[in-house]
Structure 1
Amino acid sequence: MLAEFDAPRALVEGAGTLRGDGWRIETFSPFPLDGLGDAIGFSDRAVPVAVLVGAVLGAALIFAIQAGANLDYPLDVGGRPLVTVPGFLLVTLECGILGAVLAGIGTMLARNGLPRLHHPLFNAERFSLASDDRFFLAILVDGDADRAHDARAALWRCGAVDVVDVGEQLVA
Protein backbone atom coordinates (compact mmCIF):
# COMPACT_ATOMS: atom_id res chain seq x y z
CA MET A 1 0.00 0.00 0.00
CA LEU A 2 1.23 3.46 -0.87
CA ALA A 3 -0.14 6.53 0.89
CA GLU A 4 0.31 10.10 -0.26
CA PHE A 5 0.58 12.96 2.24
CA ASP A 6 0.46 16.64 1.36
CA ALA A 7 2.42 17.96 4.36
CA PRO A 8 5.71 16.90 5.96
CA ARG A 9 4.28 16.97 9.50
CA ALA A 10 1.48 14.60 8.44
CA LEU A 11 4.03 12.12 7.08
CA VAL A 12 6.16 12.23 10.23
CA GLU A 13 3.15 11.80 12.51
CA GLY A 14 1.69 9.05 10.34
CA ALA A 15 5.00 7.19 10.21
CA GLY A 16 5.32 7.33 14.00
CA THR A 17 1.77 6.09 14.49
CA LEU A 18 2.07 3.24 12.00
CA ARG A 19 5.46 2.13 13.30
CA GLY A 20 4.03 2.17 16.82
CA ASP A 21 1.22 -0.09 15.59
CA GLY A 22 3.78 -2.60 14.30
CA TRP A 23 3.67 -1.97 10.54
CA ARG A 24 6.81 -2.25 8.40
CA ILE A 25 7.04 1.09 6.64
CA GLU A 26 9.20 2.97 4.19
CA THR A 27 8.98 6.73 3.65
CA PHE A 28 9.77 8.90 0.63
CA SER A 29 10.24 12.66 0.77
CA PRO A 30 11.64 15.35 -1.56
CA PHE A 31 13.86 16.67 1.26
CA PRO A 32 15.04 15.58 4.73
CA LEU A 33 12.41 15.95 7.45
CA ASP A 34 13.12 16.79 11.08
CA GLY A 35 11.92 13.99 13.33
CA LEU A 36 11.36 11.42 10.58
CA GLY A 37 14.36 9.33 11.64
CA ASP A 38 12.97 9.06 15.16
CA ALA A 39 9.46 8.39 13.86
CA ILE A 40 10.57 5.43 11.76
CA GLY A 41 13.01 4.17 14.38
CA PHE A 42 16.18 4.80 12.41
CA SER A 43 19.20 4.18 14.60
CA ASP A 44 21.64 2.57 12.20
CA ARG A 45 25.28 3.11 13.11
CA ALA A 46 26.75 0.90 10.40
CA VAL A 47 28.15 3.71 8.25
CA PRO A 48 30.24 5.44 10.97
CA VAL A 49 31.63 2.08 12.10
CA ALA A 50 32.46 1.14 8.51
CA VAL A 51 34.20 4.49 7.97
CA LEU A 52 36.35 3.94 11.06
CA VAL A 53 37.23 0.37 10.08
CA GLY A 54 37.96 1.44 6.49
CA ALA A 55 40.26 4.23 7.66
CA VAL A 56 42.19 2.00 10.05
CA LEU A 57 42.49 -0.85 7.55
CA GLY A 58 43.49 1.47 4.70
CA ALA A 59 46.16 3.18 6.79
CA ALA A 60 47.47 -0.08 8.29
CA LEU A 61 47.60 -1.81 4.92
CA ILE A 62 49.56 0.92 3.17
CA PHE A 63 51.91 1.33 6.15
CA ALA A 64 52.58 -2.43 6.07
CA ILE A 65 53.21 -2.31 2.31
CA GLN A 66 55.68 0.56 2.67
CA ALA A 67 57.46 -1.03 5.62
CA GLY A 68 57.60 -4.39 3.87
CA ALA A 69 59.03 -2.88 0.71
CA ASN A 70 61.71 -1.02 2.66
CA LEU A 71 62.64 -4.12 4.66
CA ASP A 72 62.68 -6.43 1.62
CA TYR A 73 64.69 -4.00 -0.50
CA PRO A 74 66.81 -2.03 1.96
CA LEU A 75 68.36 1.20 0.76
CA ASP A 76 70.67 2.88 3.25
CA VAL A 77 70.33 6.63 2.80
CA GLY A 78 72.42 8.68 5.20
CA GLY A 79 72.26 6.08 7.97
CA ARG A 80 68.52 6.58 8.51
CA PRO A 81 66.35 3.69 9.74
CA LEU A 82 64.60 1.60 7.10
CA VAL A 83 61.12 2.01 8.60
CA THR A 84 60.34 5.60 9.57
CA VAL A 85 56.93 6.93 10.47
CA PRO A 86 57.52 10.48 9.17
CA GLY A 87 58.51 9.16 5.76
CA PHE A 88 55.38 7.03 5.50
CA LEU A 89 52.95 9.48 7.09
CA LEU A 90 51.63 11.27 4.00
CA VAL A 91 50.78 8.16 1.99
CA THR A 92 49.42 6.43 5.11
CA LEU A 93 47.10 9.36 5.81
CA GLU A 94 45.88 9.53 2.21
CA CYS A 95 45.16 5.81 2.02
CA GLY A 96 43.40 5.95 5.39
CA ILE A 97 41.11 8.66 4.01
CA LEU A 98 40.58 6.66 0.81
CA GLY A 99 39.68 3.55 2.82
CA ALA A 100 37.24 5.55 4.95
CA VAL A 101 35.52 7.07 1.92
CA LEU A 102 35.21 3.79 0.04
CA ALA A 103 33.92 1.94 3.11
CA GLY A 104 31.42 4.70 3.89
CA ILE A 105 30.03 4.90 0.38
CA GLY A 106 29.90 1.12 -0.01
CA THR A 107 28.13 0.65 3.31
CA MET A 108 25.66 3.45 2.60
CA LEU A 109 24.77 1.97 -0.77
CA ALA A 110 24.42 -1.54 0.67
CA ARG A 111 22.30 -0.41 3.65
CA ASN A 112 20.00 1.57 1.33
CA GLY A 113 19.59 -1.38 -1.04
CA LEU A 114 21.14 0.52 -3.91
CA PRO A 115 21.49 0.44 -6.80
CA ARG A 116 17.92 -0.71 -7.33
CA LEU A 117 17.03 -0.05 -10.93
CA HIS A 118 13.36 -0.97 -10.58
CA HIS A 119 11.01 -0.58 -7.65
CA PRO A 120 7.30 -1.44 -7.73
CA LEU A 121 6.51 2.07 -6.53
CA PHE A 122 7.77 3.45 -9.84
CA ASN A 123 4.54 2.06 -11.34
CA ALA A 124 2.35 4.25 -9.11
CA GLU A 125 1.03 7.15 -11.14
CA ARG A 126 1.68 9.96 -8.65
CA PHE A 127 4.91 8.60 -7.13
CA SER A 128 7.00 10.88 -9.36
CA LEU A 129 5.82 13.73 -7.12
CA ALA A 130 7.99 12.29 -4.32
CA SER A 131 10.87 14.28 -5.78
CA ASP A 132 8.77 17.44 -6.15
CA ASP A 133 6.33 18.37 -3.39
CA ARG A 134 4.57 15.27 -2.06
CA PHE A 135 5.38 12.84 0.74
CA PHE A 136 4.75 9.11 0.52
CA LEU A 137 4.61 6.25 2.97
CA ALA A 138 4.62 2.61 1.90
CA ILE A 139 3.45 -0.32 4.01
CA LEU A 140 4.51 -3.88 3.27
CA VAL A 141 1.49 -6.11 2.79
CA ASP A 142 2.31 -9.71 1.87
CA GLY A 143 -0.67 -10.41 -0.40
CA ASP A 144 -3.09 -11.06 2.48
CA ALA A 145 -6.42 -9.39 1.66
CA ASP A 146 -7.39 -8.83 5.31
CA ARG A 147 -4.00 -7.32 6.07
CA ALA A 148 -4.27 -5.10 2.98
CA HIS A 149 -7.68 -3.88 4.17
CA ASP A 150 -6.25 -3.15 7.64
CA ALA A 151 -3.28 -1.32 6.10
CA ARG A 152 -5.53 0.81 3.92
CA ALA A 153 -7.69 1.73 6.92
CA ALA A 154 -4.62 2.56 9.03
CA LEU A 155 -3.25 4.82 6.29
CA TRP A 156 -6.54 6.70 5.98
CA ARG A 157 -6.66 7.15 9.78
CA CYS A 158 -3.17 8.71 9.65
CA GLY A 159 -4.38 11.48 7.36
CA ALA A 160 -3.35 10.22 3.93
CA VAL A 161 -4.60 12.23 0.97
CA ASP A 162 -4.66 9.16 -1.28
CA VAL A 163 -4.00 5.43 -0.80
CA VAL A 164 -3.20 3.07 -3.67
CA ASP A 165 -2.36 -0.61 -3.85
CA VAL A 166 0.80 -1.09 -5.91
CA GLY A 167 0.33 -4.85 -5.95
CA GLU A 168 3.91 -6.04 -5.37
CA GLN A 169 6.23 -6.51 -2.44
CA LEU A 170 7.65 -3.11 -1.49
CA VAL A 171 10.25 -3.67 1.20
CA ALA A 172 13.05 -6.20 0.78
Structure 2
Amino acid sequence: MAERAPRLYAVVAEFNRPDALLAAVRQARRDGFSHLEAFSPFPVEGLDAELGLRAPAIPRAMLAGGILGAVGGFAMQAWINLDFPLNIGGRPLIAWQAFLLITFELMVLGAVSFAILAMLIGNRLPRLHHPLFEIPDFHFATDDKFFLALLAEAPDFDPAAAHRYLDGLKPLRVSDAPLTEPES
Protein backbone atom coordinates (compact mmCIF):
# COMPACT_ATOMS: atom_id res chain seq x y z
CA MET A 1 0.00 0.00 0.00
CA ALA A 2 1.33 3.42 -0.93
CA GLU A 3 2.21 5.74 1.92
CA ARG A 4 0.21 8.96 2.06
CA ALA A 5 2.06 12.26 1.93
CA PRO A 6 1.88 14.04 5.29
CA ARG A 7 -0.66 16.80 5.61
CA LEU A 8 0.83 20.25 5.44
CA TYR A 9 0.68 22.90 8.17
CA ALA A 10 2.45 25.65 6.23
CA VAL A 11 5.04 26.56 3.65
CA VAL A 12 7.75 28.62 5.34
CA ALA A 13 10.33 31.05 3.99
CA GLU A 14 13.47 31.97 5.93
CA PHE A 15 14.99 35.47 5.78
CA ASN A 16 18.20 37.04 7.12
CA ARG A 17 16.97 40.55 7.91
CA PRO A 18 13.88 42.04 9.56
CA ASP A 19 13.29 44.46 6.69
CA ALA A 20 13.21 41.52 4.25
CA LEU A 21 10.58 39.80 6.42
CA LEU A 22 8.53 43.00 6.66
CA ALA A 23 8.69 43.51 2.89
CA ALA A 24 7.70 39.86 2.31
CA VAL A 25 4.70 40.16 4.64
CA ARG A 26 3.67 43.42 2.96
CA GLN A 27 3.90 41.82 -0.48
CA ALA A 28 2.05 38.66 0.58
CA ARG A 29 -0.81 40.67 2.11
CA ARG A 30 -0.97 42.84 -1.01
CA ASP A 31 -1.14 39.70 -3.17
CA GLY A 32 -4.10 38.32 -1.24
CA PHE A 33 -2.59 35.92 1.29
CA SER A 34 -4.59 36.28 4.48
CA HIS A 35 -3.43 33.30 6.55
CA LEU A 36 0.10 34.32 7.51
CA GLU A 37 2.36 33.97 10.51
CA ALA A 38 5.71 35.66 11.01
CA PHE A 39 8.42 34.67 13.46
CA SER A 40 11.17 36.99 14.61
CA PRO A 41 13.75 36.93 17.42
CA PHE A 42 12.75 40.47 18.42
CA PRO A 43 9.83 42.82 17.76
CA VAL A 44 9.88 44.24 14.24
CA GLU A 45 8.25 47.65 14.09
CA GLY A 46 5.17 47.61 11.87
CA LEU A 47 5.02 43.82 11.53
CA ASP A 48 1.92 43.45 13.69
CA ALA A 49 0.07 46.06 11.63
CA GLU A 50 1.11 44.38 8.37
CA LEU A 51 -0.09 41.01 9.67
CA GLY A 52 -3.41 42.57 10.65
CA LEU A 53 -3.08 41.64 14.32
CA ARG A 54 -5.46 43.27 16.73
CA ALA A 55 -4.57 44.70 20.11
CA PRO A 56 -3.92 42.06 22.77
CA ALA A 57 -6.66 41.26 25.25
CA ILE A 58 -4.30 41.22 28.23
CA PRO A 59 -4.92 44.85 29.39
CA ARG A 60 -8.70 44.32 29.30
CA ALA A 61 -8.33 41.02 31.17
CA MET A 62 -6.17 42.72 33.80
CA LEU A 63 -8.77 45.46 34.26
CA ALA A 64 -11.56 42.90 34.65
CA GLY A 65 -9.48 40.81 37.07
CA GLY A 66 -8.52 43.88 39.10
CA ILE A 67 -12.11 45.07 39.39
CA LEU A 68 -13.35 41.57 40.23
CA GLY A 69 -10.59 41.13 42.85
CA ALA A 70 -11.20 44.51 44.47
CA VAL A 71 -14.97 44.09 44.59
CA GLY A 72 -14.59 40.53 45.84
CA GLY A 73 -12.11 41.55 48.55
CA PHE A 74 -14.26 44.40 49.79
CA ALA A 75 -17.46 42.32 49.66
CA MET A 76 -15.79 39.46 51.54
CA GLN A 77 -14.72 41.75 54.37
CA ALA A 78 -18.10 43.49 54.53
CA TRP A 79 -19.94 40.17 54.58
CA ILE A 80 -17.73 38.80 57.37
CA ASN A 81 -18.20 41.95 59.46
CA LEU A 82 -21.98 41.87 58.96
CA ASP A 83 -22.19 38.13 59.65
CA PHE A 84 -20.09 38.31 62.83
CA PRO A 85 -20.44 41.86 64.17
CA LEU A 86 -17.92 43.05 66.74
CA ASN A 87 -18.24 46.43 68.38
CA ILE A 88 -14.63 47.55 68.63
CA GLY A 89 -14.11 51.07 69.88
CA GLY A 90 -17.39 52.27 68.41
CA ARG A 91 -16.27 51.88 64.77
CA PRO A 92 -18.94 51.20 62.15
CA LEU A 93 -19.40 47.62 60.90
CA ILE A 94 -18.42 48.61 57.36
CA ALA A 95 -15.24 50.58 58.03
CA TRP A 96 -14.00 50.98 54.45
CA GLN A 97 -10.69 52.51 55.51
CA ALA A 98 -9.74 49.30 57.31
CA PHE A 99 -10.74 47.25 54.26
CA LEU A 100 -8.42 48.98 51.79
CA LEU A 101 -5.31 46.85 52.34
CA ILE A 102 -6.99 43.51 51.62
CA THR A 103 -9.04 45.10 48.82
CA PHE A 104 -5.83 46.34 47.17
CA GLU A 105 -4.06 43.00 47.59
CA LEU A 106 -6.93 41.05 46.04
CA MET A 107 -7.15 43.61 43.22
CA VAL A 108 -3.50 42.96 42.36
CA LEU A 109 -3.95 39.19 42.70
CA GLY A 110 -6.99 39.25 40.42
CA ALA A 111 -5.29 41.43 37.80
CA VAL A 112 -2.15 39.29 37.68
CA SER A 113 -4.10 36.02 37.60
CA PHE A 114 -6.32 37.21 34.75
CA ALA A 115 -3.27 38.55 32.85
CA ILE A 116 -1.50 35.19 33.07
CA LEU A 117 -4.65 33.34 32.02
CA ALA A 118 -5.24 35.73 29.08
CA MET A 119 -1.61 35.35 27.98
CA LEU A 120 -1.82 31.55 28.07
CA ILE A 121 -5.10 31.50 26.15
CA GLY A 122 -3.92 34.13 23.65
CA ASN A 123 -0.71 32.23 22.92
CA ARG A 124 -2.53 28.89 22.82
CA LEU A 125 -0.32 27.52 25.55
CA PRO A 126 0.71 25.14 26.93
CA ARG A 127 1.61 23.60 23.60
CA LEU A 128 4.65 21.39 23.83
CA HIS A 129 4.84 20.60 20.12
CA HIS A 130 4.32 22.77 17.07
CA PRO A 131 4.59 21.66 13.42
CA LEU A 132 7.11 24.42 12.69
CA PHE A 133 9.58 22.73 15.02
CA GLU A 134 10.07 20.13 12.25
CA ILE A 135 11.70 22.71 9.96
CA PRO A 136 15.49 22.61 9.96
CA ASP A 137 16.98 25.77 11.45
CA PHE A 138 13.64 27.02 12.81
CA HIS A 139 15.31 27.22 16.21
CA PHE A 140 17.17 30.25 14.81
CA ALA A 141 13.86 32.16 14.99
CA THR A 142 14.89 32.95 18.55
CA ASP A 143 18.40 33.97 17.56
CA ASP A 144 18.96 35.69 14.21
CA LYS A 145 16.57 34.41 11.49
CA PHE A 146 13.14 35.59 10.38
CA PHE A 147 10.41 33.29 9.10
CA LEU A 148 7.21 33.84 7.12
CA ALA A 149 4.67 31.01 7.06
CA LEU A 150 1.84 30.72 4.56
CA LEU A 151 -0.64 28.57 6.47
CA ALA A 152 -2.32 25.65 4.75
CA GLU A 153 -5.59 26.37 6.57
CA ALA A 154 -6.52 28.89 3.88
CA PRO A 155 -9.40 27.54 1.77
CA ASP A 156 -7.62 28.10 -1.56
CA PHE A 157 -4.15 26.95 -0.42
CA ASP A 158 -1.99 25.29 -3.07
CA PRO A 159 1.41 24.06 -1.82
CA ALA A 160 3.11 24.27 -5.23
CA ALA A 161 1.85 27.81 -5.80
CA ALA A 162 2.93 28.79 -2.27
CA HIS A 163 6.44 27.45 -2.96
CA ARG A 164 6.66 29.40 -6.22
CA TYR A 165 5.36 32.54 -4.56
CA LEU A 166 7.78 32.38 -1.63
CA ASP A 167 10.70 31.59 -3.96
CA GLY A 168 9.88 34.84 -5.77
CA LEU A 169 10.40 36.78 -2.50
CA LYS A 170 14.11 35.79 -2.52
CA PRO A 171 14.33 34.01 0.87
CA LEU A 172 17.32 31.98 2.05
CA ARG A 173 15.22 28.81 1.72
CA VAL A 174 11.64 27.60 1.52
CA SER A 175 10.52 24.59 3.57
CA ASP A 176 7.40 22.55 4.18
CA ALA A 177 6.07 22.20 7.72
CA PRO A 178 4.17 18.91 7.89
CA LEU A 179 1.20 18.67 10.22
CA THR A 180 2.52 16.14 12.69
CA GLU A 181 1.40 14.88 16.04
CA PRO A 182 3.87 14.81 18.92
CA GLU A 183 5.47 11.46 19.68
CA SER A 184 4.19 9.84 22.85
TM-score, normalised relative to structure 1: 0.91
Instruction: Give yes or no for contact 1:51–1:104 (8 Å, CA) kept in 2.
Output: yes
What is the CA distance between 1:84 and its match in structure 2? Answer: 1.5
Partner of 2:3: none
Which residue is equivalent to 1:149?
A: 160
Count of matched residue pairs:
169
Of 126, 132, 141 in structure 1, the residue corresponding to residue 143 of structure 2 is 132
Unmatched 5+ stretches in structure 1: none
Alignment correspondent of 2:33: 22
Cα distance per residue 1:93-123 (max 9 Å; x no partner) = 1111111111111101101111110011111
CA drift of 1:19 comes to 2.8
In 1, the alpha carbon distance for the partners of 2:53 and 2:139 equals 24
Residue type of the partner of 2:20?
A
Match of residue 32 from structure 1: 43
Q: Say whether the 8 Å CA contact 1:55–1:98 is kept in structure 2.
A: yes
Segments of 4+ in structure 1 off by > 6 A? Answer: 143-146
CA distance in 2, matches of 1:18, 1:115: 30
Query: 2: distance between equivalents of 1:104 and 1:142?
Result: 29
Q: Distance in 2 between matches of 1:102 and 1:59?
A: 13
Counterpart residue number, 1:168: 179
Percentage of pairs with the same residue: 43
The yes-or-no answer on 1:62 pairing with 2:85 is no
Deviation of the 1:142 alpha carbon: 4.5
In the alignment, which residue of structure 2 is the partner of 1:52? 63
* Equivalent residue, structure 1, for 2:116: 105
1:11-65 C-alpha deviation (Å, 9 max, x unpaired): 1121222233233111111111111111111113421111110000011111111
CA distance in 2, matches of 1:66, 1:137: 53
SS at match of 1:96: helix
Distance 1:154 1:106, change over 3 A: same
Correspondence 1:63-78 to 2 at 5 A: 63-78=74-89
Paired position in structure 2 for 1:3: 13
Alpha-carbon distance in structure 2 between the residues aligned to 1:34 and 1:52: 26
Contact 2:134–2:178 under 8 Å retained in 1 = no
Distance in 2 between residues matched to 1:55 and 1:28, nearest whole Å: 32
The counterpart of 1:43, out of the listed 49, 54, 59, is: 54
What's the TM-score once normalised by structure 2's chain length?
A: 0.85
Distance 1:161 1:75, change over 3 A: same
Long gaps (5+) in structure 2:
1-10
After superposition, the CA RMSD in angstroms is 1.9
SS at 2:178 equivalent = coil
Deviation at 1:144, TM superposition (A): 8.8
TM superposition shift of 1:146: 6.7
